[in-house]
Amino acid sequence: MADLIREILEATTFRQQDIDAVLDTSKVSWINFDPELGYVPRDVVLRDGQDFAQTTYTHEKAGNRRVINFAERPCRINTYGDSYTQSQQVSDDETWQERLAAHFGEPIRNFGIGGHSILTAVHRAMRHEVTEVSAEYIVLGIFGDDHVRNLDASRWIRTQYSERDRPREKAWPQHGLPWVHLRYDLAKNKFVECPGACKTPDDLRRLCDPEHFYKTFKDDQIVRLYSMEVGGEARFDDLEKTAEALGIKVDLRDPAKRAAEAHRLRMEYGMKSTMHILDGFLPWLKQHNKKPIILLSYGPMMIRDHLKGLPLPDQPLRDYLAGKGIKPIDILEKHLADYQAFKVIPGEYVQRYFITPREAAVFGHYSPLGNLFFAMAIKDELVAHLDPKPPAYR
């Protein structure tokens, strides 16, 4: 039962050379360690762009990506989220924020960072929105994979097990470090926040020891659930009770169904966790006199599936937002309208706008052309939120 869990954890134990690059600022890394958020961005040049070009990532003192257009003017829009908010795989002046800022005539700050969850994005927003870089309008980017990241004690375990045989001679771009995450507490009958496993850099270094890494995560609920997804067995009594408490019908007892059911449970569990986060974050924004804007973004595979007419995987979130009276800015509908102007199949369509994953990227991201499309696709709805209108629209 525990053999596959041990195999997963031994295969994904942090390597010393990779952690050294994170903790030693004289070495090349795209992140710095953060005990609460796992990691925050660092200035770096990566060969992860279109046509294998180098891309430049630079950041200001507060940690946001460098503001280029109209940086001298007051900023009233801050954006938070994962790599689709960060505009990973393009350089500073090619992000959708900078394309919009150039068009609007006012700056937009970019606090996105690749790999983060909705929970860490919200924690980062609550950290910065009480400082001198706070803004009136808070854009929260929600990507299709973010929901399950809320539950990960270390996302690295899930993303890297499938990549375990990939050659890695040099230091590998690290992400998914232990961070604040959510669990449903059966005794308290509610979601609770759990701190990350590493309070200090030395705690992180100790996770380079395979046995310590195994002992740290072997009983973790999501590690057990993931091990069932990839064909293993694990204790699931608490997972059954959690599913029941959340109103999720699942069958983990049938070996023939277990892998698919474990995956479905993790997806739905993650979606419930996002709703819990928003239940707390939206009132917090109102209390601080800030106006939320929810931005739904998706990767090329999800866009392709939508163009084929497949069901939306995040329909529960959409229903939740509708119940709150919130109309999100939805990039899927923008892509659908754009796609109908072409005579190509869905797979050929998404290749127009996306780059395949490289370096630190786990998913493919928008190319410079894709970020321009994204900016122009969401501009009208974003303008409608703003009062007064951007300088270009006054």
131-147 per-position pLDDT tens digit: 999 999 999 999 989 99
pLDDT tens-digit series, residues 302-351: 999 999 999 988 999 999 999 999 999 999 999 999 999 998 999 999 99
**pLDDT mean across residues, the chain:** 95
pLDDT tens profile 57-68 = 999 999 999 999
What tens digit of pLDDT does each residue of 203-253 get?
999 999 999 999 999 999 999 999 999 999 999 999 999 999 999 999 999
- Other beta carbons within 10 Å of 386: 17
Residue 289 sits at φ, ψ, to 5 deg, of 60, 40
Specify whether the CB–CB gap between 146 and 274 falls below 8 A: yes
Contacts of 114 (CB under 8 A, 6+ apart): 30, 82, 83, 86, 88, 175, 360, 361, 362
> Residue 201 contacts by C-beta under 8 Å, 6 or more apart in sequence?
23, 33
pLDDT band for position 89 (50/70/90)? very high
Q: Say how far residue 349 (Cα) sits from the centre of its chain.
A: 24
Q: Assess whether pLDDT exceeds 80 at residue 1.
A: no
Closest CA to 57 of 73, 45, 68: 45
Measured CA distances, 168 to 18, 19, 172, 316 (Å): 10, 14, 7, 39
For residues 26-51, give the mean pLDDT.
96
Q: Convert 85-151 into a string of H (helix), E (strand) and C (coil).
A: HHCCCCCHHHCHHHHHHHHHCCCCEECCCCCCCHHHHHHHHHHHCCCCCCCCEEEEEEECCHHHHCC
CB atoms closer than 10 angstroms to residue 235: 13
**Residues 269, 243 contacting (CB under 8 angstroms):** yes
pLDDT at 290 over 70: yes
Please tell me the distance from the alpha carbon of residue 314 to that of residue 259, in angstroms, as a whole number: 20
Q: Is the pLDDT of residue 2 over 60?
A: no
Distance CA 216, CA 296 (A): 34
Write down the pTM of the prediction.
Answer: 0.94
Radius of gyration of the chain (CA): 21
CA nearest 114: which of 57, 35, 169?
A: 57
What domains appear along the chain, each with residue ranges and CATH number? 3-393 (3.40.50.1110)
Q: Cα–Cα–Cα angle for 359, 59, 196, nearest 5°? A: 70
